[in-house]
Amino acid sequence: MIKSMPQTLTLPMPTISEATVPHKGLNFLRPEIVLDFITISPTPLLFVTPVAVLFSSLGVVDQVPMRRIPVAVSGRVIYPICTMELPELRGKLIINSASRKLKFLESQVVHPDKFAPSTSQVIGLALEFTVQQPE
């Protein structure tokens, strides 16, 4: 008997009080917040896809889209966050399938000619989640 692939569903980052920042129709996970998979869906989480980085520079808030590359939820994954448009905005997405949690850590590298360290910061990371649909 051939086993078929599970049906999947892609969900955007939901609004979570104190954990997300809304901006232009997306919800961005704040740095240093631990997100439990059950917050997204009771069904198994298969992939996490970084969508955009939210940042503030000189008091102006903006977002930078990312290449949407799904990251498989398997074991402990440390996925680098970096955009082609603004490579100085960096971070890490840590996914731990055993504890069923993820965390976004920002670690900004600043170029003096583009950003001032005291006035620029990463505010959040927008994600999409691919979950297995209930049978």
Check residues 84 and 31 and name the one with the higher pLDDT.
31
Rounded Cα gap, residues 8 and 49, in angstroms: 14
Rounded Cα gap, residues 91 and 114, in angstroms: 18
pLDDT interval class at 109 (50, 70, 90): low
- Predicted confidence at residue 52, as pLDDT, reads 95
For the chain, the distance separating the N- and C-terminal CA atoms, rounded to the nearest angstrom, is: 18
- Predicted confidence at residue 27, as pLDDT, reads 97
Q: In this structure, what DSSP letter does residue 43 have?
A: S
Q: How many of the other CB atoms lie within 10 Å of CB of 123? A: 18
* All residues at 6 or more sequence positions from 18 whose CB lies less than 8 Å from its CB, including other chains: none
Rounded Cα gap, residues 89 and 96, in angstroms: 23
What does the mean pLDDT of the chain come to?
Answer: 86
Rounded Cα gap, residues 10 and 30, in angstroms: 21
State pTM to two decimals: 0.85
Examine the pLDDT at 89 and tell me if it is beyond 60. Answer: yes
